Amino acid sequence: MKNILITFLFKEGAGPVFTLEMAKGLASNGCNVYVVLSNKISNRSSWEKESTFKKVHFIETGTRQTAIQATIRFFLVEQFRIRKQYKSIHFDYVISTFYHPWASTLLNCFNGKKIVICHDPIHHTGVKLTERLMTTLYIKKADDIIVLTKSFIPIVEQRFKFSLHNIHYMPHGRMTEYAKQAESHFSNIEQVTNKNIKFLFFGRIEKYKGLHVLANAYKQLVTIYNKIELIVAGSGDFNEYVNDFKNLPNTKIINSYIPDEQIQSFFDKPNTILVLPYLDASQSGVIPIALEYGVPIIASNTGGLKEQLNDGKIGFFCSPNDEQSLKEQMQYLIEHPDVIKDEKDKIKSYLQQLNWDVITKPLLSI
């Protein structure tokens, strides 16, 4: 029976659910799972209720107002307390699921093979130099790397100088915490016409996500189909895109953080289509959420997005940074709404391959 410790120090977004799902998958494979988390993690109650873990340890990570104090305390006091508390336990693996400024130091507090999940081996457009340097150092300090798409194995090998023996593939698993009644969503389809398709962009507003492209593609469509809808929902700086979306009909902009309990209200609507017009990408944490709700997806054919969608067997793909290509895929779904039901059937079947007990089992042979 393997002892595994998992660390995650951010508070919000898809990371808390990803980490919880992975931890549960490892526990279901008979592992003793220990976890170290931020005390302000958004799904804390779910961690506290889960009885399959050996120990869940929360540490103070501060708020925006107290981040400096919390950082000083971690490096001068808390890390040494953690080292002392866990020094008698040998872990087979110590897994960091996401980068955090403290992540490398926290990994070194434990005895065991250090494994980092590398979500973004290629930095996204707009990432600042400081973050590029820190994430590169974080990845290089690991003993082994887990990538979420096979296409990134040679990139990690070349860029970070890891042996292929130390790079492991694990697909991005299901996000069942977002849709625990998921079975009902696959029948959630009303009579579809080209007047009630709802296009959804969901996630943090970032430069690489192609909102300019989406606005221009939608602008062409609303001159033809006057009752389609577009919702853009997510936190981040939207100022760069205000003029793009200004005066676009049937458009709703929700520029704020969407808490987990509100996610269903965006994805659990009939005839919703998720649109990911990314300029570049590794993989997307929004895709697994959409899959749980049986939501068809239009995505740029970049990075690992096609692989994430069953190697392109599901989903519809456009060329990155190409508004005409995106417009054509959106128009196809408007003109052929019957394919929504077909996509839901494909998604339902594919999800069975992404259960966490299945995808984490091969990791136990590292």
At 146-174, the pLDDT tens digits run 999 998 999 999 999 999 999 999 999 99
**318 DSSP β-pair partners:** 300
At 44-57, the pLDDT tens digits run 999 999 999 999 99
Domains 3-170 and 179-352 share a fold: yes
Q: 315: left (phi > 0), else alpha (psi -120 to 50), else beta?
A: left
Pick the CATH number of 3-170 from 3.40.50.1820, 3.40.50.10860, 3.40.50.2000, 3.40.50.720: 3.40.50.2000
- Listed by start position, the domains of the chain span 3-170, 179-352
Strand order in the sheet with 198-202: 251-254, 229-233, 198-202, 272-276, 297-300, 316-318
CA distance 270 to 185: 9
CATH of domain 179-352: 3.40.50.2000
Strand order in the sheet with 90-96: 55-59, 32-38, 3-8, 90-96, 111-118, 144-147, 167-169
Q: Which long-range contacts (CB under 8 A, 24 or more apart) does 265-268 make?
A: 266/200, 266/202, 266/231, 266/233, 267/178, 267/179, 267/185, 267/200, 267/202, 267/292, 267/293, 267/295, 268/179, 268/185, 268/188, 268/293
223 CB-contact burial (10 Å; exposed 0-12 / middle 13-18 / buried 19+): exposed
Residues of the chain predicted below pLDDT 50? 181-183, 190-194
Structure tokens, 254: 């929700």
CA distance 11 to 15: 8
Residue (of 52, 20, 311) closest to 180 by Cα position: 20
